[in-house]
Amino acid sequence: MTSPVLPSHGRVRPLGLAQVSLTGGFWGERQAVNATATLAHCESWMERLGWLANFDRVADGTTGPDRPGWSFSDSEVYKLLEALSWESARSGAPEAEAAIKRLTARIARAQDPDGYLNTCFGHPGRPPRYSDLEMGHELYNTGHLLQAAVARLRTAGEDDLVRIARRAADHVCRAFGPGGIDGVCGHPEIEVGLAEFGRALGEPRYVDQARLFIERRGHGRLKDIPLGRAYFQDDIPVREAEVWRGHAVRALYLAAAAVDVAVETGDGELLDAVRRQWERSVARRTYITGGMGSRHQDEGFGEDWELPPDRAYCETCAGVASIMVSWRLYLATGEVRYADLIERTLYNVVAVSPSADGRAFFYANPLHQRAAGRPADPDEVSPRAEAGERAAWFDVSCCPTNVARTLAGLHGYLATSDDDGLQLLQYASCRIRAELPGGPPVAVDVETAYPGGGTVRVRVVDGSDRPWTLSLRVPAWASGATLTEGGRTRPVEPGFVRVRRAFAAGAEIVLELPVTPRFTWPDPRIDAVRGCVAVERGPEVLCVESHDLPDPGLLDTLVIDPGSAPRAVEGGALVRGRARAFPDAPWSYRDRPVDGDGGDWFDVPLRPYHGWARRGPAAMRIFLPLATDLRPSYPPIQEGA
């Protein structure tokens, strides 16, 4: 079956990618842009920058000290190959298939006879193999090769790419297996690649090697660096850690692999460790957007409650990686909370990154942009992660290909099945044609304008006299949802609402989700947004952009009326706000509170955060300061009382 993740066990099973197809709407449009624009865009930049030619140079013996690109540039080619594989299977587009063959042929020539494959290390004029486990990314690259091979294997069978990956995986097992190098890669990824490749091939050696890497980690095998060993999660063993820390993408790729290994080896303790880490990290180290990573310095998680909106890193790749972890936990447990976080992250991290034309991307996804940045040059490589506008490409360009591979296989995350029926997790217009194991065929069409509208219409296409259960996820935010079936409408609570019956052809089940804009209040322990509120609409976080204000400077002084509920308007919401005028003082710390002069109240327009800066660079904020005073909430206490 075709799916990025296919555990041997689990409470629920993914549907195969061939069983689901997006038929338009929010994600269908993005998947189409990904197919027609982003994939070719990525290949063209990698050609232009010599990242593809790096493979030719190794083959031709002409590589050397002037090799362009970072040590992880090979991985971008592999992530693109993964995206192309899902896309080729989805659409049958001949361009995708041709690109796969073209890239595979160039990669094949660069592989050493013993299976080692890397354009940065291990060749004349380059550092020796495995000479920089901390920052060299060799095994990281290989991990992405294996994930690409999984995509190819599950969509097209064993081809050259799969054979290349097998030789590379065998080399890794020889080099790092028992008796080999007693090390781990600074950037986890080989683990998740080996586990899935092992599952796809039915090859337990690869899963064993993944387990070995996971068990080795956290004992200080990697050198200490200024950012500390927590940066690459080598500070605490995976099964002992209480929370995610250090570089967010590293932490999350590692956690995803730990779930895979736990599931394959029946290691409940390891699975519980990741669940525990997920719980605390989601409760205390995650942004309202689902974004993870509070610090630019190490691209990492901060401490509990350290969630600055302006310096939020929230790397796009960390969003992709968070979905990888939650998806695996959902498959293992069937718990709805993991699907809730996936939805939040899809709309407010992954969807934020690509431009409408699929040829520019956000890398970092801050929740507050103080000054509109410079316009991005579509012909320029951005040297940095932060920007006021989406960039065509990056010096460190992990995000575009991560978006590409996620969107190309996105239909795989919409629904799952178990022996009894189908679970609808993410709402998008789509067709589902599945077989339940030992059960009836399940054929439903979903139509919805979600997230713009809250009506989700599920129509049964093929009837059957054998009963099955249709489960619909009611998101945690959706209080007041209703379900209509058989002419009856009833309120439903967050969680799974389940309808069990023998569905007749043409039966329609309608879930109504309340996408009225609403205030959302942060926990008072999140210091950086104290005294603020956010506005959400369905699964979307909204924001104010300077484009919509008479003066961009108002974003610094805007306060909003918490007593006046947000009102829905086309494309977003309105809240009541005013811009207080503050005296420009020589010193910003005073002997009494400054309230500012209240300006006139006006309607402040909010739009979905995922569309910010599409009209050019903007200042922006998600959390809005409240027009409250500083009066105590109780009678003042007498001195000496």
Distance CA 82, CA 104 (A): 11
Query: Nearest distance from residue 566's CB to a second copy, in Å?
Result: 11
Which 423-482 residues touch a second copy, going by CB under 8 A? 476-477, 479
Which 613-632 residues touch a second copy, going by CB under 8 A? 625-632
Question: In this structure, what token pair is assigned to residue 145?
Answer: 């090769």
Kind and range of the H or E run holding 400: helix 398-408
216 lines the binding site for a second copy (CB under 8 A) = no
282 lines the binding site for a second copy (CB under 8 A) = yes
Strand partners, 433: 443
600 lines the binding site for a second copy (CB under 8 A) = no
Query: CB 618: neighbour CB atoms within 10 A?
Result: 23
66 lines the binding site for a second copy (CB under 8 A) = no
The residue to which tokens 């050019």 are assigned: 616
Q: In this complex, which beta carbon is closest to a second copy, that of residue 463 or of residue 562?
A: 562
Question: In this structure, what token pair is assigned to residue 340?
Answer: 């809730």
Which 100-159 residues touch a second copy, going by CB under 8 A? none
Question: Which of 115, 143, 302, 354 is in the footprint of a second copy by CB under 8 A?
Answer: 302
Which 493-522 residues touch a second copy, going by CB under 8 A? 518-522
* 553 three-state secondary structure: helix
Question: Which of 291, 308, 400, 451 is in the footprint of a second copy by CB under 8 A?
Answer: 308
Size of residue set near a second copy by CB under 8 A: 89
Q: In this complex, which beta carbon is closest to a second copy, that of residue 239 or of residue 518?
A: 518
User: In 3D, which of 416, 468, 461, 417 has the Cα closest to residue 440?
Assistant: 468
381 lines the binding site for a second copy (CB under 8 A) = no
Distance CA 56, CA 103 (A): 11
Distance CA 248, CA 590 (A): 38
Query: Nearest distance from residue 240's CB to a second copy, in Å?
Result: 17
* 534 three-state secondary structure: strand
Distance CA 594, CA 592 (A): 6
Q: In this complex, which beta carbon is closest to a second copy, that of residue 462 or of residue 561?
A: 561
581 lines the binding site for a second copy (CB under 8 A) = no
Question: Which of 564, 602, 605, 616 is in the footprint of a second copy by CB under 8 A?
Answer: 564
Query: Nearest distance from residue 74's CB to a second copy, in Å?
Result: 21
Q: Alpha helices of 92-186 — where are they, by DSSP H?
A: 94-110, 138-156, 160-176
Question: Which of 306, 420, 508, 548 is in the footprint of a second copy by CB under 8 A?
Answer: 306
531 lines the binding site for a second copy (CB under 8 A) = yes
Distance CA 521, CA 540 (A): 15
Residues 6+ apart with CB under 8 A from 597: 580, 581
DSSP strand pairing (468-474 vs 421-424):
parallel
Question: Which of 94, 178, 490, 590 is in the footprint of a second copy by CB under 8 A?
Answer: 590
| Cα 14–Cα 16–Cα 22 angle in degrees, nearest 5 | 100
The mark string for 384-423 relative to a second copy (x by CB under 8 A, - otherwise) is x----------x----------------------------
Q: In this complex, which beta carbon is closest to a second copy, that of residue 175 or of residue 227?
A: 227
